[in-house]
Amino acid sequence: MKSIYSFSDFISDKNIITTAIGLIVALEVKQLTHNVTSTIISPIINKIVGHGGLNDISITIFDTKFELGSIITTLISFFIVMYIVYLVVKFTKNGYGIVNVP
């Protein structure tokens, strides 16, 4: 019985629920960003670049082919996520957000 109380104290004391909610939201933002990048941004870049677009971008150095398309797509996704994080922090600090930051 004591372990149930200590587990309850652990959850309430360490803000585990808040952390779990943040993790779930972060994973969903990642999935949303991936979908936006692959369905909207990549086709636009593919039209600009042509010849298969980002997936076919590669360089060859000393008979070794480095495919850069997935790296570029990952960088685009990264910058989108970082911009979303920036907006959340900015709105939170300005008092427009849901969370109060001390």
pLDDT at 93: 64
Do 76 and 37 contact (CB within 8 A), yes or no? Answer: yes
pTM higher than 0.85 for the full model?
no
Break the chain into its structural domains and give their ranges. Answer: 2-93
As a CATH number, domain 2-93 is: 1.10.1200.120
pLDDT at 75: 84
pLDDT at 23: 82
Q: Cα angle at 83 between 40 and 98, to 5 degrees?
A: 110
For the chain, 102 residues long, give each residue's pLDDT as a single digit of tens.
566 667 777 777 667 777 777 788 888 888 888 888 778 877 887 787 776 667 777 888 888 888 887 788 788 878 887 887 787 777 766 655 555 544
DSSP state of 38: I
